Amino acid sequence: MAYEYPTVTGVLCLQRIRDRWIVRFKGREIGAWHSPEAAASAIARHESGLAQWDRQRFEVSDDLLDWRPLGDSL
């Protein structure tokens, strides 16, 4: 399953690639988290390693229940 979280500056997408989770934002991607929860937590703290997102100060939930399933993963 993949997840997305819309923000005023763009949509954050969490996706599993093999055994790791990555985040995509504005055409860039980064990450190698072991779980989507760990990825969401890093994103919420603005410590994802993706500079375009980490410089933003918008709040994002670290709870995957607040993220929505990505359309094609339903």
Q: Could you report the per-residue pLDDT of 4-48, keeping only the tens digit for each?
A: 999 998 999 999 999 999 999 999 999 899 999 999 999 999 999
Residue at 70 is within a domain? no
pLDDT at 72 (0 to 100):
55
Residue at 67 is within a domain? no
pLDDT at 1 (0 to 100):
85
Residue at 71 is within a domain? no
Residue at 42 is within a domain? yes
Residue at 72 is within a domain? no
Residue at 65 is within a domain? no
Total structural domains within the chain: 1
CA-to-CA distance for 12 and 24, rounded, in angstroms?
6
Give the domain extent around 55: 3-59
